[in-house]
Structure 1
Amino acid sequence: MAAAARPEQEEDDLLDSIVMADVRFHGEGYQEGFAEGSHAGITEGKCYGALHGAKVGSEIGCYYGFACTWRSLLQKCASEKYSKKLKVLDALLGMIQNFPYEDPTYAKLHEDLDKIRSKFKQLCSLLCVHPDFGLCDKDSGLAF
């Protein structure tokens, strides 16, 4: 036959559950908060990555369109004085075509992007083109 629980033991269990409730609720709250924060962080990270990936893609697309346009213009008037410009242009196009668009974990992504920007600036300098492609001017408001 099982021994009946002593009243002192029941009192100790009741007091123990009251005293330990703070620790238990703190642990449960932490776990719930951690799970919710992880989910929110993943969602926010995906949005941030998509936004900045689109910006990089748009920037590289602009460089690519610029280079292709100038390539077709310079090929029409092929001469010795355009050979350096064509060489830099081909280098820029090669860098753009070899850029790892599909691998966001690529370790040298920012380094390669900086090289493309530098090559683009070099090309603009050779072509005597100002590389300011802003869509809107901040000071475009009317002033009296």
Structure 2
Amino acid sequence: MAALLNSEVSLPDIFDDVLNLESKWVSSGVEQGCIDGRDQGIAEGKLLGSKVGRKMGEELGFYDGFCNTWLVIAELFPGTVDRRALRSLESMQEKLAEIPAENVEGVDFEGKIQLVRAKFKVVNSLLKTNVKYQPQIQEQVQQPPADFSF
């Protein structure tokens, strides 16, 4: 005890760690919360990206199949598809090819898809067909986990 009193350590210095304990735990909790939040955000982002990508792929696949079918019909049966419709089909095929298969930063996916949709309407009209895209993938409502709380 005498050594403690004679040392250069003052009484307030001894309790600094105890006094700062709360702020240390808060800092540690904030840091861990940020890490957990980032990990959860990445997982949710992957799930959302998968859903959106699947829907986009289904729609673009429909337009691509429609376009390719009519191009094959035009090739196998010359004269069944007029030149204007054929040019529009080829233009639609080019617009479909411009959409990247992976998520590229800076690419206006929605704008490119809108162009394909517009071209589809034109082709549909020129071919005098009444084909409509109807989504087949139904969005499933995901229930939160049982231990979900705020």
- TM-score range (shorter-chain normalised) is 0.7 to 0.9
Deviating more after overlay: 121-130 vs 29-38: 121-130
1:6 pairs with 2:42: no
TM-score, structure 2 length as denominator? 0.75
Q: After TM superposition, give the deviation of residue 12 of structure 1 in Å.
A: 1.3
Q: After TM superposition, give the deviation of residue 60 of structure 1 in Å.
A: 0.8
User: What 5-or-longer segments of structure 1 have no aligned partner?
Assistant: 137-144
Provide the residue aligned with 2:79 in structure 1: 78
Give CA-to-partner distance per residue, 1:25-50, whole Å, 9 cap, x none. 11000001111111111111112112
Q: After TM superposition, give the deviation of residue 18 of structure 1 in Å.
A: 2.7
Query: Could you list the runs of 4 or more consecutive aligned residues of structure 1 that deviate by over 4 angstroms after TM superposition?
Result: 7-10
Q: After TM superposition, give the deviation of residue 24 of structure 1 in Å.
A: 0.9
SS of equivalent to 2:20: helix
User: What 5-or-longer segments of structure 2 have no aligned partner?
Assistant: 137-150
Deviating more after overlay: 4-13 vs 121-130: 4-13
Question: How many residue pairs align between the two structures?
Answer: 133
Provide the residue aligned with 1:99 in structure 2: 99
Distance 2:115 2:132 in 1: 18
Provide the residue aligned with 1:132 in structure 2: 132
Answer yes or no: is the 8 Å Cα contact 2:58–2:135 preserved in 1.
no
Q: After TM superposition, give the deviation of residue 106 of structure 1 in Å.
A: 4.2
Distance 2:17 2:62 in 1: 66
Q: How does 1:1-144 map to 2 (within 5 A)?
A: 4-6=3-5, 9=9, 11-75=11-75, 76-78=77-79, 82-134=82-134
Letter in 2 for 1:85: A
Letter in 2 for 1:97: A
Distance 1:72 1:38 in 2: 49
Identical amino acids, percent of aligned pairs? 26
Question: Residues 5 and 66 of structure 1: is their aligned pair in 2 closer, same or farther, counting only changes over 3 Å?
Answer: same
Deviating more after overlay: 108-117 vs 34-43: 108-117
Give CA-to-partner distance per residue, 1:32-83, whole Å, 9 cap, x none. 111111111111111211221121111111101011112222341416x711
Q: After TM superposition, give the deviation of residue 4 of structure 1 in Å.
A: 3.8
Letter in 2 for 1:78: G
Aligned-CA RMSD value: 2.6
Letter in 1 for 2:104: P
More helix by share: 1
Distance 2:37 2:26 in 1: 16
TM-score, structure 1 length as denominator? 0.77
Answer yes or no: is the 8 Å Cα contact 1:121–1:131 preserved in 2.
no
